[in-house]
Structure 1
Amino acid sequence: QGQKLAFAFSDKMKQALKLEMEFFNTTPQMSHLIVGADIALQDELGMNDDNEKAIAGLKTGLMGPFAGVGDTVFVAIYNAIIYSITAYLALSGQPLGLLIPVIGCLAITWVRWKFFNIGLAQGQKLAFAFSDKMNMLTEGASILGLTVVGGMIPALINYKVDLTYKVGKVTMSVQSMLDKIMPALLPLAIALFSYWILGKKHMNSTRLIFVLIGLGMILGNLQPICNWIGSIF
């Protein structure tokens, strides 16, 4: 017991703890790779002034690129896919939608544990093993996420223009004309409008919801509004 306490308060232990208190910021899901490599590197090299700089350099050098990949895969893409599927199942009245986020969280927990073991096994090789694959992984994840989100737009935004007009004895439907130009054109326009307005100053997702509610009230009563305007003129 005395030997354990002596090691716990040894200079090397203090040096290691001080090293781990330095600034470190990356996507939490990717941090386990770096932490595992950090521990492996300390075991391989030992703790001294030169090795401390090498270990700190590894953490500093990896946290930026790994944050880029992690934010893309585990934040943007993950949230878009998981919660889009959840929303779609909820709209269909399927209770399975409640379990999708739970399953996703369990999967992420397993991935984080696996990442730690990979980092522990790779050590300093981690920087070289992943450096060439970073851009490819990020680009592939972005393509996958955009494809899934694009496919979800016409399924989740189910709006059709209930607007007709007469040319002589022929009644024309605006929606059928839009479908000939491009199917699901209006859902796409609403999605692009949402992304565009979110980039404006003082705009956030909560305010966007109220904007979309107002837009829905206008678009849902488009035919009566047009009839009222036509009666005036």
Structure 2
Amino acid sequence: MADYSKKVSKKALAKSFRNWYYGHLTCFSQEHMQTFGYLVSMLPIVEDLYEKKDDQVEALKTYSAFFNTEPQIGSMIVGVTVGLEEARANGEAIDDETINGIRAGLMGPLAGIGDSLIVGTLIPILLGIALGLSQGGSVLGPIFYIVVWNLLAFFGMRFAFYRGYDLGGAAVEALVGPNATALRDSIVMIGTMVIGAVAATWVSITTALELPGGGTLQGTLDGVFPKLLPLIFTVFCWWLMAKKKISPIITMLILLVIAFVGAAVGFFGAATIAAPTA
């Protein structure tokens, strides 16, 4: 870690982690998801590093951007940005774009890792053991799950948070050095690729429109550009929210109107939206 004049205190670090551990789903909604949980976890850090209220408010604006990831593994991202905020408070050339670029670039890949390891592997294993211990109505099963899961979650998230803090401080030189732009662009590119893969996998939109000469429009599109309709709708949603500054809730209402009109005129069929299967 760099020898900065301003250092985050151990008390502020502990409070920041506790705020994330208990409050990462604070005020959760489709529009903001974990944004406010992230914001409240950074509050003690900002208060510790900046004395003036105006500086605190300006620093906290960085963390008002949308954020969502797998909360256990995602603790590392919070720790990383704590290290970056500490560096910024000491005069390093780290701006809002740098911090939010790192956040956006990491939240997708770490969510994929966390969902696979935690949600898809660890939790089913613990539940399987708990169910076995619950045979005959024993309370040992639920007690086992509650105790073991909370211990693993707490200490695992704590390790990820503090490891991220160490990485955040060590990464400052790379982020402000000559290769900073390439590094940030690479991280954002990886995140974009992950989001693109998720959209292609989970967004399922098809058309039931039949062509005059026989066949369907969907068959023609699949032969030319598979997944074209999901791509169009994904880009359309991005354009509405990123360029036109339309909220996610209004965007969903717009999609609902499009779906209703499309079904009424026969463009969309009954199986247009396919629910994912396990």
Q: For this structure pair, what is the TM-score category when the shorter chain's length is used for normalisation? A: 0.5 to 0.7
> Secondary structure in 2 aligned to 1:141?
helix
Q: Which has the higher contact order (CA 8 A, sep 6+)?
A: 1
The 2-side partners of 1:224 and 1:116 are apart by: 51
Max Rg structure: 1
AA of the residue aligned to 1:114: R
Aligned to 1:61: 92
The 2-side partners of 1:173 and 1:223 are apart by: 12
Are 1:113 and 2:162 matched, yes or no? yes
Aligned to 1:77: 105
Are 1:146 and 2:192 matched, yes or no? yes
Work out whether residues 107 and 191 of structure 2, in 8 Å CA contact, stay in contact via their aligned partners in 1: no
Aligned to 2:215: 172
The 2-side partners of 1:85 and 1:144 are apart by: 14
**TM-score (structure 2 length as normaliser):** 0.48
Runs (5+) with no aligned partner, structure 2: 1-46, 64-77, 124-149, 269-278
**TM-score (structure 1 length as normaliser):** 0.55
AA of the residue aligned to 2:210: T
Identity %: 16
The 1-side partners of 2:211 and 2:159 are apart by: 58
Number of equivalenced pairs: 172
Cα deviation per residue 1:91-116 (whole Å; 9 max; x = unaligned)?
A: xxxx64997xx999987754541354
Q: Give how far 1:117 is off.
A: 4.1
Aligned to 1:50: none
Distance 1:210 1:166, change over 3 A: same
Aligned to 2:201: 155
The 1-side partners of 2:243 and 2:175 are apart by: 36
Query: Where in structure 2 are the equivalents of 1:1-233 lying within 5 Å?
Result: 20-22=50-52, 23=55, 25=59, 29-33=80-84, 35=86, 59-64=90-95, 67-74=96-103, 76-81=104-109, 96=120, 110-117=159-166, 128=173, 130-132=175-177, 133-167=179-213, 171-199=214-242, 201=244, 203-223=246-266
The 2-side partners of 1:105 and 1:208 are apart by: 36
> Secondary structure in 1 aligned to 2:246?
coil
AA of the residue aligned to 1:184: K
The 2-side partners of 1:68 and 1:106 are apart by: 31
Distance 1:84 1:193, change over 3 A: farther
Runs (5+) with no aligned partner, structure 1: 1-16, 38-56, 90-94, 226-233
